[in-house]
Amino acid sequence: MELVVQKFGGTSVQSKETREMAFNHIQKAIRSGKKVVVVVSAIGRIGDPYATDTLLELIGAGGTKLTEREQDMLVAVGELISTSVFTNMLKEAGVKAEGFSGGQAGIHTTSDYQQAKITKVDPGRILAALEHVDVAVVAGFQGIAPNGDVTTLGRGGSDTSAAALGVALKAHYVDIFTDVDGMMTADPRIVEHAHRLNQVSYEEVSNMANHGAKVIHPRAVEIAMKGNIPMRIRSTYLDGMGTLITGQEALTEKKDVGDRLVTGVAHVPNLTQFTVPANGTAIQKQAFQVLADAAISLDFINISTENIVFTVPFSKKEEVIELLKTLDLEAKAIDNCAKVAVVGAGITGVAGVTAKIVSALAEHQIPILQSADSHTTIWVLVNEADMIIAVNALHDIFCLG
């Protein structure tokens, strides 16, 4: 049985017209002799009746009295509605199809409500269904905990569902359908000359996603990489093949990819930088521990003998301040910061990349508040007012246009 997984996001299932466009991709796969597992997100975005954020508004969003377990019961409904609507559409068109919740599809998770992790996928029920239907439609973003509770996987969870099912089912590939035609060298909304990448490695896409590119969730890429399942990011509205994501050894455009120093530039706005006076290892240990206990995720961490410096999303600023006050630590906070990351497998061990970054930003008098690097990524913290200019300057200096 040759099988493919196709995931359709909220904008791809939000109207009769977009669902029909999605149907065309499914029908094309069926006609080529493949069985299809379709993973769907909740219909539309905030304001649409069954979108996740709209459902949360019904209970007052952040002011709700519901526990996280009870909130998962609510938001999981969005994908179930989408699954039923999509399955009905397929059946009306004469396609043999069957719908499943995440739990019914065999997606088992931890009990970390709202941020559950997939522990295993038992594809038996899906495989049995595909013996007599051509399409299995699965509610993304959700699974089942050991005690039988419904759980959700956090933002981008439908991508993760699709990747996990693809690996468990040994799919030929996993297609992530969205409203853009693949992975771009930068956000085309702020970089006019950004263009689509035909092929990228798992590592490059994961880094782009981790540093702000919204086209796919990094956890999904990591799952596909471990299972060595190729992924494609494609447009629901076009017939193109989009961007192929696979292992470095499987790329067919190896010469072009190998000659590429930088793959793309990503960005994350709305950050706050903290500088905390923490003279001594004991104080540093206490500061990091109190933040870890509160599940505060830190980025851009620098530790010296006198200070610790890090960033958090602006939405976490007040919580961090209050936590540090419990240790009598007064922190300096700089709001309206943005992370800009230069990503590329080709930069490993290459001299002069940082010099180019500093030169490009200095030419526009953009101060660098902080910097960090890994083998394939160099990122800088800048004032958010400089973010768009910074992204464009780095896109230009590495000739990504």
CA–CA distance, 102 with 87 (Å, rounded to integer): 15
Boundary (domain end) residue, out of 162, 178, 194: 178
Question: Is 103 known to sit in a ligand binding site?
Answer: no
Other beta carbons less than 10 A from residue 122's beta carbon: 12
14 and 144 housed in the same domain: yes
Direct distance between the N- and C-terminal alpha carbons of the chain, in angstroms, rounded to an integer: 42
Question: Is 204 known to sit in a ligand binding site?
Answer: no
Question: Is 7 known to sit in a ligand binding site?
Answer: yes
State the pLDDT at residue 279.
Answer: 83
Q: Among the residues of 240-303, which ranges form H helices?
A: 254-258, 281-293
The parent domain of residue 136 ranges over: 3-178
- Which H or E run includes 243? strand 243-246
Residue 343 belongs to some domain of the structure: yes
Question: Is 281 known to sit in a ligand binding site?
Answer: no
Question: Is 79 known to sit in a ligand binding site?
Answer: yes
CA–CA distance, 365 with 384 (Å, rounded to integer): 14
Question: Is 354 known to sit in a ligand binding site?
Answer: no
271 and 160 housed in the same domain: no
Is 178 in contact with 158 (CB distance < 8 Å)? no
Question: Is 293 known to sit in a ligand binding site?
Answer: no
Residue 232 belongs to some domain of the structure: no
157 and 276 housed in the same domain: no
Boundary (domain end) residue, out of 122, 151, 178: 178
Residue 366 belongs to some domain of the structure: yes
162 and 283 housed in the same domain: no
State the pLDDT at residue 248.
Answer: 66
163 and 273 housed in the same domain: no
Our count of domains for the chain comes to 2
140 and 273 housed in the same domain: no
Residues in the chain where the model's pLDDT stays below 70? 61, 248-259
State the pLDDT at residue 143.
Answer: 98
Residue 252 belongs to some domain of the structure: no
163 and 277 housed in the same domain: no
Residue 199 belongs to some domain of the structure: no
Q: String of b and e for 55-81 (b: at least 16 CB within 10 Å)?
A: bbeeeeeeeeeeeeeebbebbbbbbbb
278 and 372 housed in the same domain: yes
Boundary (domain end) residue, out of 123, 150, 178: 178
Question: Is 62 known to sit in a ligand binding site?
Answer: no
The per-residue pLDDT for range 365-389, each reduced to its tens digit, is: 999 999 998 888 999 999 999 999 9
14 and 145 housed in the same domain: yes
State the pLDDT at residue 255.
Answer: 46
What's the CATH code of the domain at 68?
3.40.1160.10
Question: Is 178 known to sit in a ligand binding site?
Answer: yes
Residue 363 belongs to some domain of the structure: yes
State the pLDDT at residue 259.
Answer: 63
307 and 170 housed in the same domain: no
Residue 222 belongs to some domain of the structure: no
269 and 173 housed in the same domain: no
Question: Is 52 known to sit in a ligand binding site?
Answer: yes
Question: Is 166 known to sit in a ligand binding site?
Answer: no
Structure-token pair, residue 126? 């899906």
State the pLDDT at residue 261.
Answer: 86
What's the CATH code of the domain at 362?
3.30.2130.10
State the pLDDT at residue 374.
Answer: 84
